Structures are given as C-alpha cells and as structure tokens.
Structure 1
Amino acid sequence: MRLTGLAFLLLAAFASQCSAEIRTSAVFGDSMVLQRNKPIHVWGWADAGSSVEVKLADATANTKTDESGRFDVELPKLPAGGPFELTINAGDDSVTYSDVLIGEVWVCSGQSNMGWSVQQSNDADLESLSANYPNIRLISVPQVGVQEPQQSFDGRWQACTPETVKQFSGVGYFFGRQLHQTLDVPVGLIDNAWGGSSAEAWVKRDLLEANDNFDELMARWEHTEATYDHDAEVKKFQENLAKWRDQKNGPRPNNPRNPLTGQHRPANLYNGVLYPIIGYTIEGVVWYQGESNAGRAYQYRELFPLMIQHWRDEWKQDDFSFYWVQLADFMAERDEPTNSAWAELREAQTMTMDKLENTGEAVIIELGEASDIHPKNKQDVGKRLARWALAKNYGYDIPYRSPTYESMSVDGDQVTLKFDHVGGGLDTFDVRDVIGFTIAGEDKSFVQAEAKITGKDTVVVSSDKVSAPAAVRYAWADNPICNVQSQEGLPMTPFRTDDWKGVTADAK
C-alpha cells in the first residue's frame, strides 16, 4: 500500500503520540511520601506536545509537554494519609507509582556528619533493631559530581526497617523519627549529603561568578579546570606504585582523587545530587555542614545565606524551613584564650538567622569529640533539629532555640550580658561554676573571666586583669570548655561582643 505525503505525516504523528515514553526523576517512585497540606508538584518527560494526565487519590491534573518534552503539574493539597497510587498518562503510555503516602517531607543534606549513618552512630545495634517504622520512608541520592544538571539518579524509596535504616543518615533518621512519633503522620526523608563537601559545590556556578565575594575562589577553580589532567595523575600514581612495590620504601602512594568530579568544585553537587530533586514539594531542609569551609569562615557569612536563598529560588515553592547544625566542639582543648577558625564559622552560621526568615540553628557545642570530627551522638543532634521543626512548623509549645547573646553594658570593671531565648532561665551543666567566658580591654588581649548568673537572663563577667573591659567572648575556641545552658538543657550559643578582625577575614 502506498501512503500519500499527508497520510504519512498523520501516521507519524499518531505513532509519536502512542510512543510517548514517560520518565520522571527517581524521587518519584513506589513507596514515596508526598508533602501534605501543600500543592504537590509533579514533573517528568514524554514526547514533545503530548497530552499528560496525572492522578492521585481523587485529584487530577492535566497539561501538555513543552518543546523539550517536559511537563509540570500541580495537584491540590491533601491531608496526611494513604496508601495511594500516583498515575501519569501520556499518549498510550502510563506509569503508576504505588504505596504512596501523604505526610511530611524533609531533605537531609550537608557533608559527612549528615551522611554519617545510623550504623556508625551510638547504640547502632539497638537503634536498628527497633527501626520498624513502615510509615517512615527513606531515599538516598548517590554521589555524582558534575557540571551538567542531572535529571534523575540511581535510587528508590524504601520503608524504614532494621535493615534499610542502617546505611541511612543518622541525624536525618533521628530527626524524622521524632517527627513521626510526635505528629503520627508519614514522614519521607531524602538524604543527599556528601562527606567533605564545600558549600560552594551546592550552588549554581553563574550565581557564584556574578558575586564579587567569590572572585578569588572562582579564579582558583578556573586555573584547576584548565590545568588539571587526571589521566596524567593516574599514570604518575601507577608509576610510583610500581616503584613502591619493588622497593617497599615509605608509605604506599595514594590513588589520586579527581577534583573535577569531587565534592568541592563549584556547582558539582548542585548539578549532581540536588538538581534531580529540586521542585519536589517539601516542608523543609535539615543541614549539617561547615567543616570544609571553616578556613574561609568570613566568606561563609555571605556564601551560606546565598546558598539557602538560591535553593529556595530554584525550588519555586515557598521560603521553606531551613534548619542547620552548628559545628560541634572538636580538636584539642586549650587552657588559654585563642583565635579559632571554627569559632568564626559558628559565628557565620549564627549570623544567617538574622539574614533569612524560616531558619534555625541547633547548637551542639557539648556533643562533639576532641579526637573525632564525626561525633557518634547523632540522636541528640536529630532531637535538637526536631525541636525547631516541632515548634516552628507544627506549633508545639516547646523550647527550641539555644540562649543567644542580646546586649552588654559596662560598669567599671564589670560587664553585664543580657540574653534572649533563655527558656526557664540560665543554668549551668555539671558544676555550679560558670565556665567559658573570656574578657579583654581595648588591647584585644583576652583572659579567662569570672562569671556569675545574676538573673534569669543575665550574666556578670569580670577579671582582675582587665580594669576597663571592652569585649567578652563565650565558647570561642575550636573545642571550648563551657557549661552555660537553659534550664531545659539547650546550650548557650557561642558568641563574641566584638567585631575585631578574625583569623579567616582575608581568606577567600
């Protein structure tokens, strides 16, 4: 049979409609949790110009794919419940995701202390044995560092069981478990943390290039990108390894890591592990990162809020909640006051709360370990993050914010400090003595200070070595010795009253 030109075109168009193969990001799948009480964004791809229908429970949304084949629909907000089926129809193709729950969805992101698994946390055996929570659902995004946005990833949702929980983020799980137990609704947790990652890797490249604060950072990377030859480095490693095997002299050579595909290169993680989930309707993000940026803490004052706002802009949802963990105490304790890059990074984190709405900080200045950058107590970290969410997102009247410095006044050789968010009042942990304050005059030479809690929200600080005090600091060290908290047990936020130039001020 001979087809006319018009008939051939009609047949081709019909065949194209029938072959509209539907694709979505792997963040959509069986056993997923969709966010309750917010419009639900669903997106994917089929043939360009295809009619698309999306169904969930009693809700239906219709649209057409654009020239690239992408479709975006918004389903109406739904209360917690399930299980349901989410069905996408395009042409003759249909995809159905089953066992779908409606509840609370949170992204768990950052570097290794967020990625640190339940199996690596305190009481790992007991925690995994008791992790029978079929309505907590978990999904992890593999580590892919690239400069091109990835539409999907190799991962799938799983119900929380004693086996599936073992490799999941400890902080994320303990946070989500507290929400689930308190709210009694399904909870979905998306873990895309990458150990050792720098904040700039989580930000789109053109955003960094447009900001003068990052000119030196971007110039260093442009030089690396232009000169680094991974194949040459591998060849050199193989030659050195062969020599080492022959001579057995010195330590074994290390296999070279490719910085171009790693977790520090600007935009690598934005493209590889964040982009595939951007737009998935969420309640918020919990974040544990900063160690890799501590050497550039002053820069983090700009970079961290930029990153948060960038994520919100990309999500096109709302100013969703973003709660982070302040850096824990780490490294050797010191008897005398000293400068500290980690203290400056903590300060940059705290400053971010004043720059952006719907943000919060879990202070864990007493939960760290001097000799381990990965403290094992992830349970209390998750609970402190959960306090923020339960109080601010879900309306529970519970303490959630650590005491924070508000103001100071000087009277002779004494400084009176006033604090906010003190709960039932300021208190001390372990011993009655108030520990952790230092004081200095205009010479900027800090000494240990005597301190007394004089009221629900006040502390008086002095030293017989400083007759005219100009500044006070608290817990200002890598691993500070300090013990002030609220009566509810939330540790005081480290702070300084001065703005004297810090050790990372010129680090770009």
Structure 2
Amino acid sequence: MNRTAACLALLLAAALPAAQADVRLPHVFGSHMVLQRGMKIPVWGWAAPGEMVSVKIGTGPAVSALTTAGGEWRVMLPPMPAGGPQIRHLGIPKVTSAVPERDVNAEWRVCAPAVAGSFTAVGYFFGRELHKTLKVPVGLINSSWGGTRIEPWTPPAGFAAADSLADIRARVALADPRTDAHKARLRDYLGTNAAWTAQAKAALASGAVLDPLPPYPPELVPLRGHQDPCSLYNAMIHPLVPFALRGAIWYQGESNHGEGKLYTDKTRALVEGWRGVWHQGALPFYYVQIAPFQYGEEDPFVLPVFWEAQAAAEAIPGTGMAVIHDVGNIRDIHPRNKQDVGRRLALLALVKTYGAKDVVCSGPVFKSLAPDGAKLRLTFDHADGGLVTRDGKAPSHFEIVGEGTDFVPAE
C-alpha cells in the first residue's frame, strides 16, 4: 500500500492450521486510503474462527485480536499524527440492500486532474478548502445517490428519534427478516397457509370449490428499492462502520421538500442514527439548505416551510447549515456553482470542528423583529459589518403582513 497515505501491514500469528483462512479487510481499507489523524483507528475484517490477527501501521506497534466464532476480528490502533498532504477519494457504488451489508466494492483514488471530475463536486471543493487551510491529508468518502429521499439513508434505530416517525419504524421492523415482528407475522401467514393447504387437499379429493391461496403479506416484502427506508444505509453506509470519521456533510432534500416541518424529525433520525452506529459521540454533521427552485405549479409557500424545517435542525448539537440561496438558479434544481457550496460547508467545519479563529462561517441569520414607530426593525446575527446588497440597491423580496391583510412589499 502507498506509504504516503498510510501503510497498513497485516500479520498472522498463532493461526490454526486446520481452520486457517485468508485474512480479509473491507474495501474501505486499501491503497491510497486516508486514515483519521489524532484519534483511535478501528480496523476490522474476517478470518478463520480462532485465528489471532495482528495489525500495525508503518513502524508502530502491532495490535492483536482473536477472531470470533463468527469469523470476525477487530482491533483499535493508537492515534497518529498527520502525514501527506494529499486528497483522496473513495466512491461508493450505487447499490441497495434489505439488510445491513458487511462490505462494498470500492477503491480509493488519488486526486489528480485526470480523475477529479469523477469525484463528488461539492465534496471535492469542501475537501480542497480543508486541505489548503489545514495542510493535512483529506480523505473523502462519497456515498450518494441523486434524487433519493432521506429515509433510505437512515439506520433502523434512527426512526426511534421521534414519535412522528413511528409508522416508518413499524414498516422497517415488519420488513426486516431478523426482527421478532417480522417472524411473528410470517408465522401467522404460514399458519393461514397450512390451513388453506389442508382445505385444498380436501377440495381436491371431493371436487369442492376452493378459495384462492391467501396472498403474501405486502408488509413482509423486503425494503430494497432505492427510495425504501434503510435500503441505502444498509448497502452504502453500514459497510463503512466503524471507520474513523471526522464528520459528515449532507446535501439532500429536494425529494422530501413537500413534507414541511416533518423533515426536522427525519434529519434528527438520520443524525442520531449515524451517531448511534459509529459510537464517536456527537459526530459533526454539516448540511446544505436546498437551493431555490420552482417546482412546477407548486404553491410558492411550500419551499419556505421546508427551509424552516431545515433551519430548525440546527438545534441538533454538533450540526451546522450552509445557506446557498444566492448561488442557486430558480430554473435549475442542481445549481452549477458547487465551489461556493463546498467552501461554505468547509467554513462550518473549520470553525466548529477544527476551532479556526477569525473565520466567518455563516451569513446573516434573522434574530428578531420589533416595531419602531411606523417601521419594523429587523435584527440579524452574524452581521457585524452591517448588511449591504451586492448591487448597492435597496433590498428586495422583503414582505410584511398584518392582521387581516395579505403580504405586501416592504419598503
């Protein structure tokens, strides 16, 4: 493996000859990978039950673990300083699964002009800003699928974050063949099937009329569609657990934008679900407030309510929201200016995760409104230098409403 990123050497000791099997690593470990600096590094994989597996990085000490009866092993390597610097990218293929997968077929790639175009655009500009500022290697894991909803990316346990998601939680439990709920319902169906089979045999012998076979319960059908709850988490996120991460960035919402305030609860389910499986405490989570776009003949008030739902998710500890209203295109659901989007996410990370000083990571945020004579006075946070418009003209798109009146332009 390339030592400039990290050298991971696997050694076997006290292997059992009769049961010896190749030591295997998940694909998240490979040539050109970037391992997290300054924190313990989980390394895991598979081998024959009872085999002792030793892992070391470079000239560091080896750490050993005994492979379980299920053929799994895991070690925790000590924290290490940064090497590099480089930018590396791991692209996760678009696949789905009805149950959590252990591995995914992907490989790390070195950032270079010939391949950078295949990287996640927002992620690349995010990583480039961190790389330029911190002067350390940056590893980007791109697990994404355009146009998908938030539910497919959420772990099953995440849906317990809010009572409003109880129906999704129940649906996931019934469709998962490992759960008691699924087994109980399947047992009921098999009992019904057995009774029908007995009736069918009797009808065959007597020539009696027989009702059709009861259909398979639709709630037991596995959730493997790319818009089904948990299907993308199972196939594209779970194989990465517990790879040491510094944080996550999230740019999604168009497919959920008609749900209003419910999206706040779904965001909490995603964040708390990921944090629950990674066991890294309040794993930083920075996300993008979706850009303005005219969704056909949709009521123009639908999108602002969704923006409020996204903003409300900032109440979740360890999160931050990048606003991109000024770089969007109302006629393009995917604004082409990815550079500013990635940079604004990076500014959040620099301030909130890396403790950067003298860095502004937010635009003006509404704080309060109060009457001031015949006027209404607005106060904003993150506006220390005052508010100005890009063209020097009076601000537009501000409207006011009073009791018994409709919205009118504010002047």
TM-score by length of 2: 0.79
Q: Output the CA distance in 2 between the equivalents of 1:419 and 1:25.
A: 48
1:427 and 2:388 correspond: yes
Matching residue within 110, 114, 124 for 1:173: 124
**What number of residue pairs does the alignment pair up?**
351
1:323 and 2:286 correspond: yes
- Are the structure 2 counterparts of residues 153 and 215 from structure 1 closer, same or farther at C-alpha, using a change threshold of 3 Å? same
Given that residues 156 and 172 in structure 2 are in contact (C-alpha distance below 8 angstroms), is that contact kept between their aligned partners in structure 1? no
Given that residues 203 and 270 in structure 1 are in contact (C-alpha distance below 8 angstroms), is that contact kept between their aligned partners in structure 2? yes
1:157 and 2:157 correspond: no
Query: Which whole-Å deviations, capped at 9, do the CAs of 1:255-275 have from their partners, x for residues lacking one?
Result: xxx995332100001101000
SS at 2:325's partner residue? coil
The farther-off stretch of 298-307 and 416-425 is: 416-425
Tell me the percent identity. Answer: 40
SS at 1:266's partner residue? coil
Question: Counterpart of 2:193?
Answer: none
Q: Output the CA distance in 2 between the equivalents of 1:372 and 1:172.
A: 20
Matching residue within 174, 177, 182 for 2:133: 182
Given that residues 327 and 342 in structure 1 are in contact (C-alpha distance below 8 angstroms), is that contact kept between their aligned partners in structure 2? no
- Are the structure 2 counterparts of residues 216 and 313 from structure 1 closer, same or farther at C-alpha, using a change threshold of 3 Å? closer
Shift of 1:299: 1.0
Shift of 1:294: 0.5
- Are the structure 2 counterparts of residues 222 and 68 from structure 1 closer, same or farther at C-alpha, using a change threshold of 3 Å? closer
Given that residues 16 and 47 in structure 1 are in contact (C-alpha distance below 8 angstroms), is that contact kept between their aligned partners in structure 2? no
Relative to total residues, which structure has the larger strand share, 1 or 2?
1
Matching residue within 385, 393, 398 for 2:353: 393
Q: Output the CA distance in 2 between the equivalents of 1:414 and 1:176.
A: 45
Matching residue within 369, 378, 392 for 1:408: 369
- Are the structure 2 counterparts of residues 413 and 278 from structure 1 closer, same or farther at C-alpha, using a change threshold of 3 Å? farther
Shift of 1:220: 8.1
Query: Which whole-Å deviations, capped at 9, do the CAs of 1:38-95 have from their partners, x for residues lacking one?
Result: 111111111222212110121321221222222221111111016xxxxxxxxxxxxx
Question: Counterpart of 1:305?
Answer: 268
* Aligned residues: CA RMSD: 2.7
Q: Output the CA distance in 2 between the equivalents of 1:446 and 1:371.
A: 24
Given that residues 59 and 76 in structure 1 are in contact (C-alpha distance below 8 angstroms), is that contact kept between their aligned partners in structure 2? no
Q: Output the CA distance in 2 between the equivalents of 1:263 and 1:77.
A: 37
Query: Which whole-Å deviations, capped at 9, do the CAs of 1:449-508 have from their partners, x for residues lacking one?
Result: 12xxxxxxxxxxxxxxxxxxxxxxxxxxxxxxxxxxxxxxxxxxxxxxxxxxxxxxxxxx
Question: Counterpart of 1:492?
Answer: none
Question: Counterpart of 1:347?
Answer: 308
Q: Output the CA distance in 2 between the equivalents of 1:403 and 1:422.
A: 5
Shift of 1:367: 1.2
Q: Output the CA distance in 2 between the equivalents of 1:174 and 1:385.
A: 9
Question: Counterpart of 1:6?
Answer: none
Shift of 1:29: 0.7
Segments of 5+ residues of structure 2 without an aligned counterpart are: 1-14, 177-181, 183-220
Q: Output the CA distance in 2 between the equivalents of 1:333 and 1:428.
A: 29
4+ residue runs over 6 A deviation: 218-226
* Residue pairs, 1:277-296, within 5 angstroms: 277-296=240-259
Question: Counterpart of 2:336?
Answer: 376
* Residue pairs, 1:349-368, within 5 angstroms: 349-354=310-315, 356-368=316-328
Given that residues 89 and 109 in structure 2 are in contact (C-alpha distance below 8 angstroms), is that contact kept between their aligned partners in structure 1? yes
Q: Output the CA distance in 1 between the equivalents of 2:246 and 2:384.
A: 26
Question: Counterpart of 2:214?
Answer: none
* Residue pairs, 1:77-156, within 5 angstroms: 77-81=79-83, 135-156=86-107
- Are the structure 2 counterparts of residues 209 and 389 from structure 1 closer, same or farther at C-alpha, using a change threshold of 3 Å? closer
- Are the structure 2 counterparts of residues 423 and 140 from structure 1 closer, same or farther at C-alpha, using a change threshold of 3 Å? farther
Shift of 1:425: 2.2
Matching residue within 53, 65, 68 for 1:66: 68
| Residue type at the aligned position of 2:409 | Q
- Are the structure 2 counterparts of residues 372 and 221 from structure 1 closer, same or farther at C-alpha, using a change threshold of 3 Å? farther
Q: Output the CA distance in 1 between the equivalents of 2:399 and 2:222.
A: 41
Q: Output the CA distance in 2 between the equivalents of 1:168 and 1:418.
A: 40
Question: Counterpart of 2:3?
Answer: none
Query: Which whole-Å deviations, capped at 9, do the CAs of 1:408-427 have from their partners, x for residues lacking one?
Result: 22245432221111142222
Question: Counterpart of 2:209?
Answer: none
SS at 2:326's partner residue? coil
Q: Output the CA distance in 2 between the equivalents of 1:333 and 1:431.
A: 32
Segments of 5+ residues of structure 1 without an aligned counterpart are: 1-12, 83-102, 104-134, 227-257, 451-508
TM-score by length of 1: 0.64
Q: Output the CA distance in 1 between the equivalents of 2:145 and 2:405.
A: 39
